[in-house]
A and B are shown apart, each in its own frame.
Chain A
Amino acid sequence: MGRVYLIALILTKSQLRMGRSGRGGEGIFRNAAIIVLLDAVCFGVCAVIGFYIAGAILALPASVGAPLVTALVEVLVFVPALVPSVVLVAGVLFELSVSSKFASSDSINWLPVTQTEYVVASTLSVAYNYSVVPSVIMGLTLGPAVELGYGATWVEMLLLSCVSLLYGGAIVEILRAAVNRVSLAVMSRARRGALVLRLAATIGVILVVEVIFNFAFLLDIVGRFQSTLGAAAVLPVLWASVAVRASETGDVVQNALFSTATVLFTAAMLFVAIKVRARYWAPTPSQVVVTSKEYAPRVGIPFGLSLFGLNRAEATIVRKDFKGLTRRREMLQYFAIPFVLSIVFLFQIVFNPSVGAGSVTSSSPAQVHSEVDQLPVWFVGGLFGLIISSISFGQEGRSAPLLYSLPLTWKEVLRAKIFTSFILAFTAMLCIFAVVTAVSRPPPLVFVENLAIAASITAEEVCIGTAFGARYPDFQERPRPRFLDPIGIIVMVIVGMFVMVVTVLPAVLSEALTSFPTVESQIQPLFLASVAFAAAVTGLSYNWARRATKKLFVEFRM
């Protein structure tokens, strides 16, 4: 058990220090106990908030407070299912973002450690690393549980949540080994097709996880818990919730049965994780053959990139970057961004039918509201463009010096980077726009206006992201690379979101004004104002990107 503890400790420290190259051993992150401190603080603060909320709800008149009380009681039931869900989402996304170079060279692969020791230690480490999540949830629910007389249920919920945390960690281990094995099997056989398959599979996994754990979707499930208790009983991930429900209703037998089943399920998941790892884990990277064709240098600029004004060097960088985006494991998750954003938007429609297509010519406030709810469509290209362009320089990693030593100008590099980001973001925006338009079928004028705004936002965000990417690049290669300096990330998100909101404000105002026919003549200028503002921001941020890139290419600094 001592060895398991030691391995778990090392894995936890590794996770804590992962993003802090060169300074990982300093300060508070030297000690893994920082997580315990964090858990205690989060629990304490959330408990205070929870008691306050519970008190406020109970102080409301019965007609208003009763549904809220019911909802609070339902939340208590839902918590043990939510905890492993969060671990799974975070764990899966983490695994998908780890560079394969680091995943395969982990020293655990060659140290005299048994599979059982490693899996148990890793599960404990994952559970410990994400323990802040149940700490927050338990803190928030303590107040309502005590105030509503469910103190004993809360204790049981706490214990079952800890157990659920463990099986969440075990499932992450199963996924890790399975993904590794499938990846190796596919990559060593299917050549270029394997790369496409891996891209599709990665996006698929992220989408599935996003769908299953989408908040709108989960809220809907929570609402149906009462009526679907029978169905929930056959789903192991819901057994802990069934036990908590039984505790609330005083059903001792069902409580004991499903609590025991949860513990046994956790043990089973650990057992499976150990077996899967022992059987399927392969630490060495596979030899990936991309093609068997004889080498034939290209003549001319490929894919008609010259039509976009790119010269040979720029087109070559664009091709190289596209290959990197589609082949690098740590980049695949970025491709999922527009799909995830679309899922978030579509779920709002599916699980909230009052949101839907409306006509801009309608004067009904409800219709206007429905138009406003379509705003996410405008933002998909912009958000994706912001993110994908911000990593365009940092993703060069330790290969960045090559660009400095080659006969390239900084202008050529900038044009290539912006072109790549813009093409990706614009394509994503057009695809999603096409789907939404097919569903909502707006009038032609609305279509043109919305398309103009979406395209404008995409362009401005790509330029903003590129400027930040050139100003704050992070070339460090880590197990979980971030490509942008943390300060750059924070400021960029704030600036990018703010700019998007300001850009759409005139258009939103225009939508609101459609409810007042007397001011219809102002609609076009307001839409034009949005587009004009976006154009101005695009110009300004492009200039900033130029200055930042020129400075970046004075010399290479890691």
Chain B
Amino acid sequence: MQAPTDQQAALRLVSLYKSYGDIKAVKGINLTLKRGEILGLLGPNGSGKSTTMKMVLGILKPDEGEVFVYGQEEAAAPVELKKRLGYVPETPQLYEFLTGIEYIDFVAEMYAVPPAERKARVSQFLGGLQLAGHENEMISGYSQGMKQKIAIISALVHRPQILVLDEALNGLDPRSARLVKDLLKQLASEGVSILFSTHVLEIAQALCDRVAIMYQGTIMAEGTVAELRQTAGLPGSSLEEVFLKMTGTDDLGEVVKELSR
């Protein structure tokens, strides 16, 4: 099945639904990620962001709806389309019995990255993210930030065309976080499409071309930050204020008073 023509779409989510028993985690979302775009996916805990991302990756199967990657339905050719995707989960669950380099090598092997190219890229990433010297240690001894770096390298080693990053900057030191943000911008300028979720609205504001606000399984609003300000009726305000108003969670004053008693 071919998606409706949209030459700009790297990723297209059409009427996705997903439930866990009685809990409706994702309720009919429609989302388009253009080529070379960084799309921020924002939402409170439990809004369905991670579930949406897992459906894109094929970790979860939608109850309804389709996922299109470069116009092709993912369900029809999952293996081929996964080769174009890179993924950093919210909490990387790496094989802790492997060393950092063994894990990256394992993932690179799955994506059939040529050995010569693999060595060069891995060395660059290890040096850039300050993991050089630790790559031969077992992941079980890594800090959370080091594990996050390994996950990021694994997502980038095969030069994916679409990156799906779920809270990818969690646990990174400031230098590494800045490096990753700059790298993402560079990749986007080279045509890589990035779906990026975060709780840190300042990062979303600085990094993302467009933002989609998700709440209770649906997309509440979508657009550039300026467009969202217009929609929320809050011109000149921060993304945080827009977000809180969109999600109906801007009545924090009373809560603060209660907690401080």
Contacts and interface: CB of A to CB of B under 8 A. Distances in A.
Interface in B131-178: 135-138, 140-141
B101 A405 contact: no
Contact of A297 (B82, B96, B111, B119): B119
Contacts of A292: 136
B229 interface: no
Interface in B87-141: 87, 89, 93-99, 101-102, 105-112, 115-116, 118-119, 122-123, 135-138, 140-141
Contacts of A320: 95, 98, 106
A288 B96 contact: no
B60 A555 contact: yes
A488 interface: no
Interface string B73-91: 0000001101101010100
Given A289-B136, A327-B138, A556-B60, A297 B108 contact: yes
A285 B139 CA distance: 11
A70 interface: no
A406 interface: yes
Interface in A307-326: 312-313, 316, 320, 323-324
Nearest to A554: B61
Contacts of B119: 295-297
Contacts, number: 103
Given A290-B137, A405-B87, A407-B111, A328 B58 contact: no
B97 A323 contact: yes
A286 B141 CA distance: 6
Nearest to B158: A407
Nearest to B61: A555
Contacts of B80: 407
A282 B89 CA distance: 31
Nearest to B154: A402
B109 A316 contact: yes
A274 to B, nearest CB: 28
B31 interface: no
Contacts of B115: 297-299
Interface string A87-130: 00000000000001100000000000000000000000000000
Interface in A325-358: 327-328
Contacts of B96: 101
A408 interface: yes
B201 interface: no
A19 interface: no
B141 A408 contact: no
Contact of B59 (A296, A297, A324, A405): A405
Interface stretch (A219-227, A249-257, A362-370, A393-401): A393-401
A409 interface: yes
B138 A313 contact: no
A554 B83 CA distance: 18
Contacts of B87: 405
Contacts of B141: 285-288
Nearest to B55: A555
B57 interface: yes
B228 to A, nearest CB: 30
B233 to A, nearest CB: 40
B138 A405 contact: no
B105 A297 contact: yes
Contact of B93 (A290, A297, A298, A402): A402
Contacts of A409: 79
Contacts of A295: 101, 105, 119, 122-123, 135
8 contacts: A101-B96, A295-B123, A320-B98, A324-B97, A399-B95, A401-B59, A407-B111, A555-B61
Interface of B: 54, 57-61, 79-80, 82-83, 85, 87, 89, 93-99, 101-102, 105-112, 115-116, 118-119, 122-123, 135-138, 140-141
Given A289-B136, A407-B111, 8 more contacts: A288-B137, A289-B138, A293-B136, A323-B98, A328-B97, A404-B58, A554-B61, A556-B60
Question: Which 4 pairs between the two chains have the least Cβ-Cβ distance?
Answer: A297-B115, A398-B93, A555-B61, A327-B97
